[in-house]
A and B are shown apart, each in its own frame.
Chain A
Amino acid sequence: MKALIFDSGTLINFSMNGLLDILRELKKSFNGKFLITREVEKEIIINPMKMQKYKLGALRLKEIIEDKTLELPESVGVSSGEVSLKMKKYFAYANNLFYRGRASIKLIDSGEASTLALSSLLNEKGIRNVIAIDERTTRMLFESPEDLKELMEKKLHISINTGKFSSLDNFKFIRSVELVYIAFKKKLIKNKEMLDAVLYGTKFKGAAVSDKEIKEIEKL
């Protein structure tokens, strides 16, 4: 068993770019589960259903839950209650790691913390998994917290104190652009010109990727 866990941003990105059929095709050849947490479901469907501008995108995402392209943690024997409980651990860790004076800086929210929690619970069950997340902060927090500290100090023009970085969790992250690359390799994206268009499409809908990285992907 293996799983790909999606954060809200990646799904919003695919929906806004009209790429959900690519996700469906990727799932068919995945031989595992595509998962979301209840917290992510709220961000991608329940909240945007109240906004006319994003309602269509939310309805499209609802369809891929109904057709079981995306499933909830219960489908792999993990209850949403377990996810919520573990989520608190990551929420507390991430939001008390950086501080200025005595004030801790709140870095992440429940959707992001819940994807980390689900990944951790799957690791405990021996289920190989990767998190698909487009936003930068959560990734940097676990892959290179020193770089995140440096970035924040540079942007905020202050020095930031940190707690002890955790080395217990071995989260693996990919973004929309890596999924697009896999889709290209599986011939779901016809040619290089289309690949370029789709990669930039994901960048312009919020994937944290530089032009240099896109050029590198195109050369692979």
Chain B
Amino acid sequence: MQERGHVIEVLEKAKDAAFREDVVELKQLSDMTVHSSAIYQDEDNILVAVILYALSKIIERGNRYYKENYKRYVRDYVKVLDKSIDFLKKEDDAGFRKEINLISSSKDISQDLKVHLIDLFRKARINKAGRVYEHGISMESTAKLLGISLWELSEYAGQSNVDGATGQGINVRQRIKIAEEIFER
């Protein structure tokens, strides 16, 4: 795992933020691991970015969507974070991955919530992919890294305006000229 110490620090802060139901901090913590994800393209950093973002969304939606399940689920979620930190401290990466993957497969949650969570984790992956792409990694590399399709990322990148300014290389008039020249008979 890349930047183990940083990941442990992020997860510790995330636990506190989850208890306080501070969704803004959880999203910021998720973004902090996106930086490492873009540089090292390491599965574990990506996993952490995704689960923290998903946790922020669960708390954000809270009682409105999840009713009685929500508080209990967040408590279980934090317990998993706790155990994950222990695995990381012992440098047991396989244990960490196994533990963290329990988050989306808990047996104690209702079928409805389970279906909703699968969707939520997929959307969290797409959101994080948008952030990685924004950091300069190509669209196809990003899609593969996050395990989503190019179609999903194209749609997300366009709608969230991830991509705007494209540097000073070639301006739009020059690019139109390239297009006109190739289409000339």
Contact = CB atoms under 8 A, between A and B. Distances in A.
Contact of B39 (A4, A43, A100, A174): A100
Interface string B139-168: 111001000011111110111000111111
A48 B151 contact: yes
A179 B179 contact: yes
Contacts of A156: 35, 38-39, 135-136
B154 A13 contact: yes
Contacts of A209: 163, 166
Query: What size tier do the contact residues of chain B reach?
Result: 35 or more
Nearest to B165: A210
A169 to B, nearest CB: 14
B150 A8 contact: yes
Contacts of B144: 109
A105 B2 CA distance: 13
Contacts of B152: 54
Interface stretch (A67-75, A79-87, A139-147, A190-198): A139-147
B166 A103 contact: no
Interface residues of A, number: 73
Contacts of B165: 210
B178 interface: yes
Interface string A38-62: 0000011001100101100100000
B150 A158 contact: no
A175 B175 contact: yes
A51 B155 contact: no
B54 to A, nearest CB: 20
Given A57-B151, A217-B172, A181 B140 contact: no
B180 interface: yes
B136 A16 contact: no
A209 B176 CA distance: 13
A203 B95 CA distance: 43
Contact of B178 (A30, A32, A173, A185): A173
B67 interface: no
A173 B169 CA distance: 11
B167 A144 contact: yes
A2 B181 CA distance: 11
Contact of A135 (B140, B178, B179, B182): B140
Contacts of A100: 39
Interface in A172-188: 172-175, 178-179, 181-182, 185
A217 to B, nearest CB: 6
Contact of A9 (B150, B159, B180): B150
